[in-house]
Amino acid sequence: MNKEEIKDIQCECPHCNLMNCYETKYEDISVFLCFTCGFTSNSKMIVDSEYVKKEFEQNQQVAKFIKNMQYTDTIRNLVWYPTVLQFPSLGVIFPEPINDTEWEWVYAQEVPILEEEKEKFKMDGTDEYYKTKLDVENAKHYNKFDFYTACIDAKIIIQPTTIN
């Protein structure tokens, strides 16, 4: 896809009500991501749709607390969830619960696995070892409305307003 075909539109986030949300239009789908609260949705995530049931509500890979954070956008009739951003060689930004009602953002960097610990990182069914791991012990934590700083620290290039 050419960059020219992608267009970002700034909009109000239905979850935190701030104007730091961006809608990116691709050929057949619109993706929403708020850089304040980190909630995301896309035009397929229609309330009560099979897509949402299959990809989120009944998906074992999606953590239960993320499912519980489902937010209904009554204007667009879409459901939103906190995002999980994974970047090869950079790491992962993910939401983490603090207690029953509160949560925060976490950025864990991808780091090389040391020789002395490599036995713990053997690939199942092979003689191969993983070369990198997520450094969860030294992960950085952010307020739930500070998703943006987590993105900066992860060195993700974010300049949505300059795209065009």
Q: Which stretch binds Zn ion (CB under 5 A): 11-19, 56-64, 89-97, 129-137?
A: 11-19
**What is the closest distance, in whole angstroms, from the C-beta atom of residue 83 to Zn ion in the complex?**
11
- Asked if 16 is part of the footprint of Zn ion (rule: CB under 5 A), the reply reads yes
The span from the first CA to the last CA of the chain, in angstroms, equals 14
Closer Cβ to Zn ion, 15 or 109, answer by number: 15
- Asked if 40 is part of the footprint of Zn ion (rule: CB under 5 A), the reply reads no
Q: Which stretch binds Zn ion (CB under 5 A): 30-38, 100-108, 121-129, 134-142?
A: 30-38
List, in order, residues 6 or more apart from 61 with CB less than 8 Å away: none
| Phi then psi dihedrals of residue 132, to 5 deg | -135, 160
- With beta carbons less than 8 A apart as the criterion, state whether 107 and 153 touch: yes
**What is the closest distance, in whole angstroms, from the C-beta atom of residue 16 to Zn ion in the complex?**
3
Task: Give the number of other CB atoms < 10 A from CB of residue 142.
Answer: 19
**What is the closest distance, in whole angstroms, from the C-beta atom of residue 144 to Zn ion in the complex?**
10
- Asked if 151 is part of the footprint of Zn ion (rule: CB under 5 A), the reply reads no
- Asked if 36 is part of the footprint of Zn ion (rule: CB under 5 A), the reply reads yes
Among 23, 32, 37, 142, the residue binding Zn ion under the rule CB under 5 A is 37
Q: How far is it, in rounded angstroms, from Cα 149 to Cα 74?
A: 28
Task: Give the number of other CB atoms < 10 A from CB of residue 94.
Answer: 20
Q: Which stretch binds Zn ion (CB under 5 A): 3-11, 31-39, 89-97, 156-164?
A: 31-39
CA angle, 116 then 120 then 123, to 5° = 120
Q: Which stretch binds Zn ion (CB under 5 A): 10-18, 43-51, 62-70, 90-98?
A: 10-18
Q: Please report which helix (H) or strand (E) contains residue 52, including its range.
A: helix 50-52
Q: Using CB under 5 A as the criterion, which residues of the chain lie in contact with Zn ion when the complex forms? A: 13, 15-16, 34, 36-37
